[in-house]
Structure 1
């Protein structure tokens, strides 16, 4: 493997200073926001598109807080769709009620209704983000969530930057995204974005009637250091990010500090965040910042590659723009990007992440209580018991699975799963029979050569391995259980990577590999000293990742792939963490504004959860 990290002498000195300095603490505050969710027309590429946004902004407002603060967000839903907001990566310690997953932790916020989220930000620093947790709409309903150290920027375990810049990679759709899931369920699978964005701007690779689109511009001063807070908000692509003529020092991922290492390319999958320092040390001029998606090669289905680019522009003391030699007249430098089918660069980028040693860093538990082996892939189920050998053709329908289980909420659910768990509701469905839950298995139903390329073409060879059940898949853990979990990507019908996101917890990423996981061989490679901690773990294409987490946050937590199509197809499960033995390990009751169990028990889940224009009022 390539060098795991590169530590500079300056960085080491700063880390040493960090541990010796003890600045005075800063008093905690209450940070309050109002999010008005509405629709507005935006013209891009000569077409006006109706998009759903927060406060008329794209990306949405930045939530900027200090560790220890409380955050209050009033969501006012003026859109025609049901909405929830998820605070991606915020641990929600003992506060599962505010996690923002429809019919898992709360009722959706219906059109013309309001809801207030209350968050406590403890024990976290770095870059996270927020987004809608309803199908499709997170493409435009998202924004950065920045948590600063309690002792200020001087306590960063890296050189204090001159400026901090959120860089959000997104995509642009010329359609009402509220229809995305509806189309998908009708097997209309040709909905695709038309462009990619950096901080909401498409960039000059795209033109409209001959005029290039505006791109994001980062103005820099020579010699200054910039902290780029990079977020991938794209629905279905990992991205490579490069700036021509510059290198990055990666210092954090998913709001956890890592041992600094130098690279010229950032790999960031949907749901992930990366903090990287960039020194403006190139000759004065203009340099393209380019984002390029990767994808699996044929025979996997191929989608258009939407590259986006912005600009890093050096400020000049020369204010006469027309004078010869002015950098603004220079031709911008373009970086050399990886190939669109290059997933090796991503594999090594993620393999280079290791946790920075700090006194407060959580140590890896040595004793493991439960082991799970989870295969991730595509499958098919056949309505009415009919046989099926082809996906998305004739009688069969597509599914994405964890151990051959495709997640689906019961059609007659009347209360969120969290309410049912907390209140021990006797009648949790409109039929009065209760929610029927299915235990997520520890292993797939049968072992096979998971990464055999012969399984990728759509054919009868893989028909038996695709057999899928549709269920509300859950896994229950006792409080404090230490769980080892191996995610194994498969080559069933496709060989995509899978960014798996666990709500309410960080995961120790112990090891990754290509091909099939082999415990007798691969456990020896586990990093139990300084593994990175992530809330979103990229399972490499036809490979595996081993993670460990402690189930010590009581509540009902979603685990799912952050590729939107995989999530809509069912690559998800619910982890139920039971209460602990002490008062401070028991989930508190819900906030006063949270509807009580059975408050809407005359409604069905599909009336609440699906994105449609029908206004449903609580009974």
Structure 2
């Protein structure tokens, strides 16, 4: 009898609306699976044979244990994108940053507690280009008895946006690395794993969202695409945005949502049109001269009782270069900043940093043009180490990294003007060191190196406040006068506008080594990444925990 009770409780703990469980167990089997998309069948790497992968459900303050077993030929690691990992950096997931990857036939248990967070996040592979198919949602519900700060929806729906390649994505990036050129763009975008009917594959179906008239739905929208920001739109309907990156925002209405890779947006949809079938669309946003997948992924929203012969009401996605639409959405985001959910913006700054974000060209004797495209921050192209940086930091292993990453550009120039004649970058595994509880203001400055571009920058281990944003070169004398230090939006991934800058602030209250990189996977591959090392504070509650016994070895 007791055995049956234990089984029932473990099953219920996977669905946090049923019972209050402090520990939630999941098992991720990383396996190959044949799947059909765009009228072609190919094997892909999946978790538990599902694409997208399973949703991880938990409540605020729960401990989550996920045993990942690697059954494929590739090394694997899983990143719990947006989970703060307080003192548990070993569970963060980026390969060679906080752990060595899980080798074929091996396993690792990710063990972390969700502290002070609720909302929608995502998990994904954090090695090679495997996150093209290895991804899924994280749904963190409030504590039992704690309501949402917005009207309770009748139903919640996870909507994961992605990209799809007909060919093997590892072959795509390997060929690009060999040639030194940019990789091929994807063949389609997807909504919950489906592109919807497209011209060269009319038999391919799409995701369907059934709704009932008068009811309200909370859409948990995630951009898991590798390389593209996306617009999301539903024909004939307004969406009320209530949360981004698992932090509540002041609600506002919009017919179009902008969401960059790694970002999440929760929006309320009221089924107020009574009847009919309506197109759901995900289309690319890019306002710079770079190649992009122009395919629009589609799904349908169906009111109950709608006849199968009913014509779908179409919607016109914004043009791919619709900067005003993107800017209007971005500028509408404000932290809720209520008594229960205050915006704790650092008002003093210990580290005032300026990081230039861009691309460069380095010599390559084996590449097509004798050169290779690279990414850089402050002209440093990051070199991945052979063992994890967190291990090197914790065990004080020398010659793995240096802590001399430049806090400002080594050579100042007109960042958004005429590009310099020298496009070469420096290479190194250089980190920037922060004392525990120190405060940071970081201005991320796009550059015209090769081409200006909107870079979604993700910081591991922390949330940050987006206090300012503008076009052109950041002016340290005048621009801070317009910073929002009252209710700026709080995020873990932020877009640096094409030909402009974004200013963020955060407190370094989480000891460990924390990756920061562009969430366009092509740019991360090219070296547009760096890491912060945060020293321990005082006492055990401000000290990095020791590594788990089953931590993978390199």
Q: Same fold (TM over 0.5)?
A: yes
Alignment RMSD, CA only? Answer: 1.7
Provide the C-alpha distance between the structure 1 equivalents of 2:100 and 2:227, rounded to a whole number of angstroms.
Answer: 26
Provide the C-alpha distance between the structure 2 equivalents of 1:362 and 1:352, rounded to a whole number of angstroms.
Answer: 16
Runs of 4+ in 1 over 4 A off after TM superposition: none
Residue 314 of structure 1: which of 303, 316, 328 is its match? 303
Report Cα offsets for 1:1-49 as digits up to 9, x if no partner.
xxxxxxxxxxxxxxxxxxxxxxxxx854211111000111112223221
> Which residue pairs with 1:439 in the alignment?
404
1:192-203 correspondence to structure 2 within 5 Å:
192-203=185-196
SS in 1 for 2:131: helix
1:504-583 correspondence to structure 2 within 5 Å:
504-583=461-540
SS in 2 for 1:212: coil
Report Cα offsets for 1:127-162 as digits up to 9, x if no partner.
00000001211010000001000035x600000001
Native 8 Å contact 1:272 1:536 kept in 2: yes
SS in 2 for 1:186: helix
Report Cα offsets for 1:50-107 as digits up to 9, x if no partner.
1100001000000011111111101010011000000000000111010011111111
Which of the pair has more CA radius of gyration? 1
Native 8 Å contact 1:438 1:473 kept in 2: yes
Provide the C-alpha distance between the structure 2 equivalents of 1:238 and 1:68, rounded to a whole number of angstroms.
Answer: 31
> Which residue pairs with 1:489 in the alignment?
446
| 1:27–1:330 CA distance, 2 compared to 1 (3 A) | closer
SS in 2 for 1:584: helix
> Which residue pairs with 2:9 in the alignment?
none
- In the TM superposition, residue 436 of structure 1 has moved relative to its aligned partner by 4.2
Provide the C-alpha distance between the structure 1 equivalents of 2:280 and 2:484, rounded to a whole number of angstroms.
Answer: 34
Report Cα offsets for 1:444-494 as digits up to 9, x if no partner.
122222122x44xxxxxx332x22011112111000110000001112111
> Which residue pairs with 1:168 in the alignment?
160
Provide the C-alpha distance between the structure 1 equivalents of 2:502 and 2:458, rounded to a whole number of angstroms.
Answer: 13
SS in 1 for 2:326: helix
Please, which moves more after superposition, 185-194 or 564-573? Answer: 185-194
Give TM-score, length-normalised by structure 1: 0.84
Structure 1, unaligned runs of 5 or more? 1-25, 317-325, 387-391, 427-433, 456-461, 601-607, 609-619
> Which residue pairs with 1:394 in the alignment?
369
Residue 226 of structure 1: which of 196, 217, 221 is its match? 217
Provide the C-alpha distance between the structure 2 equivalents of 1:568 and 1:158, rounded to a whole number of angstroms.
Answer: 40
Aligned residue pairs, count = 534
Provide the C-alpha distance between the structure 1 equivalents of 2:228 and 2:20, rounded to a whole number of angstroms.
Answer: 40
SS in 2 for 1:156: coil
Report Cα offsets for 1:330-350 as digits up to 9, x if no partner.
211112321111122212211
Provide the C-alpha distance between the structure 1 equivalents of 2:380 and 2:392, rounded to a whole number of angstroms.
Answer: 22
Provide the C-alpha distance between the structure 2 equivalents of 1:190 and 1:498, rounded to a whole number of angstroms.
Answer: 17
Give TM-score, length-normalised by structure 2: 0.93
- In the TM superposition, residue 393 of structure 1 has moved relative to its aligned partner by 5.6
> Which residue pairs with 1:108 in the alignment?
101
> Which residue pairs with 1:20 in the alignment?
none
Native 8 Å contact 1:128 1:145 kept in 2: yes
1:327-406 correspondence to structure 2 within 5 Å:
327-358=307-338, 359-382=340-363, 394-406=369-381
Provide the C-alpha distance between the structure 2 equivalents of 1:45 and 1:365, rounded to a whole number of angstroms.
Answer: 48
Native 8 Å contact 1:142 1:233 kept in 2: yes
Provide the C-alpha distance between the structure 2 equivalents of 1:332 and 1:288, rounded to a whole number of angstroms.
Answer: 6
> Which residue pairs with 1:19 in the alignment?
none
